[in-house]
Amino acid sequence: MSNLLFLLILLPAVAAAVCYFVRSSAVRTLTVLATGAVLTAASLALLGQGIFDPLTVGSVLGIPSDFLVTVLDFALLGVIFMYGVKHRNLLIQGFTLAQAALLVWFELVMVKHAAVPALAGDQLSLIMVLVISIVGSLICIFAIPYMKEHEEHLHLKKSRQPQFFFFLLLFLGAMNGLVLSNNILWLYFFFEVTTLCSFMLIGHDATEVAVKNSVRALWMNSLGGLAFVLGMMLVYSKVGTLDISAILAGGPQGALMVTGVGFLCLAGFTKAAQVPFQSWLLGAMVAPTPVSALLHSSTMVKAGVYVVLRFAPAYSGTLLSDGVAVCGAFTFLACAALCIGQSNGKKILAYSTVSNLGLIICCAGLNTPLAITAAVLLIIFHAISKSLLFLCVGAIEQAIGSRDIEDMRGLYAKFPRTATITIIGILTMLLPPFGVLMSKWMAMEAASANIYVIVMLAMGSALTMVYWARWGGLLMATREAGAAPEKQAGLIRMPLTVLCLGAVFLSLASPWIYNSMLAPMFDAPPFTVSFGSLDAATGSFAVVPLFIVLGLGALYAVKAASGFRKVKIVAPYLSGSNTGDEGTYIGPMNSPVPFSAGNMYLGELFAEGKLTPIFNALAVALIVLMLGGAL
């Protein structure tokens, strides 16, 4: 067990150091591939061994582990403070100094340093390790050829890839450490490591806009770090232990303790970019695409929802729980609305991510077995589909020089493989029987008793259909006769193919994933599995029967379209008599009018600049009410 934990947490840090200090592209490629393979194998082996009781880590390199984490905590805060000074940002400096001062008081005065088991693995932790290690590794592999072309496009004289892969791999180790931590001080340390990694990766290109957005991400997440420290102190002052498993076992224990958990949830909100903190994640879109994919699928934002989910038993049945549910549902609706007016592919994915994270947090607040099941399944399937779509957008951008979805119209004609994978990725976010839609169905079933939450979830889901269907329709077109086969690097194609197959086949296997990985989390599991369907008193989701229908429909569509190259192509009716030249028709004054196609983005109704201040103000009010409810 200890060897597996070492591989999952420390191996990425060692591999990161190799990538940074050995300046050889061949060594870097081999290191990333080997690390991905080992992390994947170790995460599967850990799942095979099953949950394990909290265990103590005595020392690392002869240094007591708790003392080492404390030293690294303050060193990390010192590094973040230095960047605050470098960029002349008083918010970073103030939040970091406040964390350091409170941490000194906490460590030296409040805490009785008894031995606390440092690591533990329940079903939630093991699932998170799988998502981080497998999805994260595929993104790192994709980054190998992507960053080579990215730097060629920037005409860099000196490669920055050693630093890039250092923080990319370190991120994976920090996330595994975070989800396996049982000592809340360890959890805080890894929480802050992810803050530093995201800052460095967002600002990687060192352009003015990249630096500006990385600084914004740093100060917002430093605010989250301060909230974490405050929450940790309040919880400890009531329960008197750093042991997370003991904190959760006791459930809610009075207003002071629940208020502390409320601040921990606020820290999770900032990390998960919930409204009004969404701007840092939207700004992160300036980073290279592998960074966006990693932040949105398996690392940074998943750390935020993990914290809110992890401490859910500690606020179950309280007003704080209701407040978390309402805040999450509001983010789900607000970001779905903001997504309607976007045509930038990365921005659509960013708003969609924040929206889905809001749904996960809403489920944590609903705090029933059905809602927690929905949240965990959504973490799994959202990570796979969203990482796939981000990587697809990166590949498309390098192919056509644009990330605007209007420029992707008819992409299938020239890049059929990438377009097909992108369409499948969109369908897995949009339709049954795929896992994301199934998880949303569970969430809405769980929210049916709360009128405010269910209305927001229903409205947000309707808006979600609009932007996904619009994008998917743009990509579909007939393949050009005689078009050259699409060329794609093997290390680009492999992650895309694996994630695409994973999104489909894991959805097909979702009843058995639920039975083996989620049902053991509950004394009274919300579903039973029969004939490939998830059945409950509230309804059933017929996964396998729906897949059979989908497969038959796909076969029929392929057969119906198989003879398209032999048919005569007739120009479409273009609102007037065709001129005979493709793409023009006779319009007013008998003049030829060029044909153009475009989507409606309803800019007046869903204007980002108008809606964002309103949504931010409402979100701040809801968070204040949430924390007030805890008191």
Residues 521 and 542 in one domain: yes
Say yes or no to pLDDT of 297 above 90. no
Contact 342, 601 (CB under 8 A): yes
Residues 562 and 572 in one domain: no
Residue 476 banded pLDDT, cuts 50, 70, 90: confident
**pLDDT for the residue numbered 199:** 95
Residue 576 banded pLDDT, cuts 50, 70, 90: low
**pLDDT for the residue numbered 583:** 66
Domain span including residue 384:
317-566+611-631
Closest Cα partner for 450 from 514, 384, 539, 362?
362
Q: Please give the Cα distance from 175 to 190 (Å, whole number).
A: 7
List the structure tokens of 488. Answer: 């794609």
234 belongs to a structural domain? no
Say yes or no to pLDDT of 388 above 70. yes
Element (H, E) at 533: strand 533-536
549 belongs to a structural domain? yes
560 belongs to a structural domain? yes
Residues 497 and 352 in one domain: yes
Q: Please give the Cα distance from 305 to 301 (Å, whole number).
A: 7
Say yes or no to pLDDT of 416 above 70. yes
Residues 494 and 574 in one domain: no
Residue 591 banded pLDDT, cuts 50, 70, 90: confident
N-term to C-term CA, the chain:
41
Average pLDDT over residues 169-194: 95
Average pLDDT over residues 373-398: 93
229 belongs to a structural domain? no
List the structure tokens of 412. Answer: 């299938």
Residues 384 and 436 in one domain: yes
Q: Please give the Cα distance from 124 to 527 (Å, whole number).
A: 18
Contact 442, 373 (CB under 8 A): yes
- Residue 443's CB is within 10 A of a number of other CB atoms, namely 28
439 belongs to a structural domain? yes
- Residue 71's CB is within 10 A of a number of other CB atoms, namely 11
Element (H, E) at 280: helix 279-283
Residues 588 and 515 in one domain: no
78 belongs to a structural domain? no
Q: What angle do CA 415, 420, 426 make, to 5 degrees?
A: 125
> Which residue has 């694996």 as its token pair?
498
Q: Please give the Cα distance from 241 to 250 (Å, whole number).
A: 11
Residues 395 and 371 in one domain: yes
Closest Cα partner for 289 from 211, 388, 219, 382?
388
> Which residue has 């086969």 as its token pair?
485
177 belongs to a structural domain? no
Residues 561 and 572 in one domain: no
Average pLDDT over residues 126-135: 95
Element (H, E) at 530: strand 528-530
Whether the ω angle into residue 545 lies within 30 degrees of 0, i.e. cis, is no
Average pLDDT in the chain = 89
Residues 578 and 562 in one domain: no
Average pLDDT over residues 271-278: 94
Residues 350 and 495 in one domain: yes
Residues 473 and 460 in one domain: yes
For the chain, the domain total comes to 2
Of the listed ranges 75-79, 81-85, 369-373, 591-595, the one predicted with least confidence: 591-595
Residues 428 and 576 in one domain: no
96 belongs to a structural domain? no
Residue 370 banded pLDDT, cuts 50, 70, 90: very high
Longest dimension (CA), the chain: 88
Say yes or no to pLDDT of 566 above 70. no
Of the listed ranges 5-14, 61-70, 88-97, 351-360, the one predicted with least confidence: 61-70
Number of residues written out for the chain:
631
Q: Which tens digit of pLDDT belongs to each residue from 277-287? A: 999 999 998 99
